[in-house]
Structure 1
């Protein structure tokens, strides 16, 4: 009898590109795996770009070229005594089967598998993949196009996939990203009201806008934010309130 604990399947997903799906997958996976002691794996099913597979290759090259990052990485991996989390390239149509097979064969029990999925519901297999998630997190910004696209996507998940009953989804969670702390726009109030009327769950924590979300480690970098090999530096996490987001994220998934 297979008594191995099955991992949680989690996706940062949206129908709108450029809102931070891959970035949040990396940030949360790296925080959990390298800092919080969980074992994670990532399936990059965002065909054809597979940006996370490419990011890991760039991160490896950057660590080898940057003496500061090389020392940080050496210290980290000798302290935690485990390898970098795997990022596996796959297509959406049978990614659930591949993830289950990987978890069953893994030498160490996997706590969470993150999925970086395509940003369009027209992709073959995407609805099946989404239905196989336990938790879906969707970043939103105070932009009309982003909001319209996201609300349609989220209602599709709630009204079509979840109500049919053939799904593993326990929660769908919207959260504000790229919030400008210097700006008080009435749009936030309007969108909050609309989200409430639609009965959609909105996380309390908000991610403040930062150029760090668009930057990977550079040749002369002395700190790490977005990396597949190391967790984001704690001071940088606090600056954009990513620390509060991760705390709320962990409460939701109840690992």
Structure 2
């Protein structure tokens, strides 16, 4: 049995997109690529991904289109929805290891972590990731917060004895098409000065990233724990580019 790769989209600023990117990557890898995925929701106390799964399950009971698409997916893949493990950050690795020792196999384990890096339990869990991806947006508060987070991880986490982090990358999210490209290039020069790498893929600011199932609308769904991102909404989202770039980095 091979060891899974531990990956986290992590930052300390809410609204940067770490939970959304975790869900979208998990759903795409599992439902489209057929990889064995475990999601670990450590974002105590709100547990946002678990709440999203609960909402999805409730929508199954109400929305016939959502239910039909879900049943068709299960018929085609012969798979149940990917598991979501709820754990406090300090307990997360032990809980994952227990599942692996019990015989569960995973290609990738995606962690949704709280942004309180000063918490010893969070810091320890971050240090045991294989790869970290830090979402950042061209918003002053998000930019400063994400940069401070990444520098703290670089200086205080990746240097720890026993740290498993191989690489960390900044990820441009919520990119406004009206902004000049050289704005992001200049920011990336700052990242490079701080010895921080940046993914080539830049994700656009588009409402589709927030489109979930609803109780009464028979519309295409992009963000869901029970369905993959709708094919018609993938075009222009750059999500597939992001997934392919990350898979190349983590060698899956």
Q: Normalised by the shorter chain, which TM-score bucket? A: over 0.9
Distance in 2 of aligned mates of 1:110 and 1:167: 21
Give me the CA root mean square deviation: 1.5
Q: Does 1:95 align with 2:92?
A: yes
Matched positions, count: 251
Distance in 1 of aligned mates of 2:58 and 2:107: 28
TM-score between the two structures when normalised by the length of structure 2: 0.95
Unaligned stretches of 5+ in structure 1?
none
Moved over 6 A (4+): none
Q: What does 1:45-60 correspond to in 2, within 5 Å?
A: 45-60=42-57
TM-score between the two structures when normalised by the length of structure 1: 0.94
Distance in 2 of aligned mates of 1:205 and 1:157: 22
Contact 1:133 1:169 in 2 (8 A): yes
Q: What does 1:9-48 correspond to in 2, within 5 Å?
A: 9-48=6-45
Deviation at 1:63, TM superposition (A): 2.2
Deviation at 1:185, TM superposition (A): 6.6
Q: Does 1:129 align with 2:125?
A: yes
Contact 2:211 2:221 in 1 (8 A): no
My pick for the range that moved more, 235-244 or 135-144, is 235-244
Deviation at 1:222, TM superposition (A): 2.7
Q: What does 1:59-138 correspond to in 2, within 5 Å?
A: 59-107=56-104, 109-138=105-134
Unaligned stretches of 5+ in structure 2?
none
Q: 3-state SS of the aligned residue for 2:39?
A: strand
Deviation at 1:202, TM superposition (A): 0.3
Compare the two structures and name the one with the higher strand fraction: 2
Partner in structure 1 of residue 198 of structure 2: 202
Partner in structure 2 of residue 156 of structure 1: 152
Distance in 2 of aligned mates of 1:189 and 1:206: 11
Distance in 2 of aligned mates of 1:234 and 1:248: 19
Distance in 1 of aligned mates of 2:66 and 2:169: 34
Distance in 1 of aligned mates of 2:18 and 2:222: 16
Distance in 1 of aligned mates of 2:36 and 2:103: 11
Partner in structure 2 of residue 5 of structure 1: 2
Distance in 2 of aligned mates of 1:209 and 1:88: 29
Q: What does 1:204-223 correspond to in 2, within 5 Å?
A: 204-218=200-214, 219-223=216-220
Partner in structure 2 of residue 171 of structure 1: 167
